[in-house]
Amino acid sequence: MAEAVRKVALVTGASRGIGRSIALKLAEDGFRVVVNYAGNEALANQVVADIHDQGGQALALQADIRDATSVTRLFERVLDTWGRLDVVINNAGSMEMADIATDNVAALDRMLNTNLRGSWLVMAKAAETLGEGGRIIALSSSVLAKSFPGYGAYIASKAGVEGLVKVLANELRGRQITVNGVAPGPVETELFFEGKSDEQVQRLAGLTPLERLGQPEDIADVVAFLAGPSGRWVNGQILRANGGFA
């Protein structure tokens, strides 16, 4: 891709895990990549260095997706730096286990704040910023179909994200911008391993017919498909990338 026409992609939560792989893959595909992070500046800078090493262009920018002012500043800084924005991936998220109990309502608030309010703010700003050919992609989760005990707050937040994806696709009618969700099954990241015994990890890995956990790269390839030319006709969909963990 010629330097002058290199598209720009913003990946939230790209300091580690799935977001990191998405950033690396999009850079490999020719995008200039904004590596957003919440607190892990050193890790985000390492992702930028890795992208530079593979011949790409990247920039690390801190922003808390729960905060409207922070998200607005993030988008402004992208435009100030590179003058355009073509693809926005809202990947940043967190997961907290909590049974549905009165005393656990704070866990619900935290999940809704990061995963749903954060998606709203990032998708809204993307809708206000992107032009023709733009792509908006939000991360949901395949665990929605499982309804496992303890996942109530997380599932509620991600079900909300799936709702936002479909509504925003309709709200952007005529703008030539697609909006889609990607819903991974279990993927080997800190978010997944946190608080799980080896036994629980093995059991979850065994739930896919492919009998393994997903790798961040498995998800990055799907996101890159939606963000690239081959994904142009996919709109308002939730793509379940989970090895058959249905």
Q: How far is the CB of 203 from ligand NDP (least distance, A)?
A: 14
Binding flag, residue 245, ligand NDP (CB under 6 A): no
- 3-state SS class at 75: helix
Distance, CA of 41 to CA of 37 (rounded, Å): 7
Q: How far is the CB of 137 from ligand NDP (least distance, A)?
A: 11
Q: What string marks each residue from 204 to 243 as x (binds ligand NDP by CB under 6 A) or -?
A: ----------------------------------------
CB-based contact 24:51 (threshold 8 Å): yes
Among the listed residues 31, 120, 151, 154, the single catalytic one is 154
Instruction: Please report the DSSP string for 106-129 in residue order.
Output: HHHHHHIIIIIIHHHHHHHHHHHH
End-to-end CA distance of the chain: 38
Q: What string marks each residue from 183 to 202 as x (binds ligand NDP by CB under 6 A) or -?
A: -x-xx-xxxx----------
Of residues 52 through 81, those in contact with ligand NDP by CB under 6 A are: 64-66
CB-based contact 153:98 (threshold 8 Å): yes
**What is each CA distance from 111 to 15, 114, 186, in whole angstroms?**
20, 5, 18
Distance, CA of 211 to CA of 27 (rounded, Å): 30
As given in the structure block, the two tokens for residue 101 are: 């109990």
Of 172 and 183, which has the nearer Cβ to ligand NDP? 183
- Among residues 7, 33, 37, 116, which is the contact residue for ligand NDP, using CB under 6 A? 37
Of 75 and 192, which has the nearer Cβ to ligand NDP? 192
Of 36 and 178, which has the nearer Cβ to ligand NDP? 36
Distance, CA of 225 to CA of 143 (rounded, Å): 22
Binding flag, residue 92, ligand NDP (CB under 6 A): yes
Binding flag, residue 244, ligand NDP (CB under 6 A): no
Is 154 designated active site?
yes
Binding flag, residue 17, ligand NDP (CB under 6 A): yes
Measured torsion, CA atoms of residues 78, 79, 82, 87, in degrees rounded to the nearest 10? 70
Of 32 and 158, which has the nearer Cβ to ligand NDP? 158
- Residues marked as catalytic: 154
What residues make contact with ligand NDP under the rule CB under 6 A?
12-19, 37-40, 43, 64-66, 91-95, 114, 118, 139, 141, 184, 186-187, 189-192
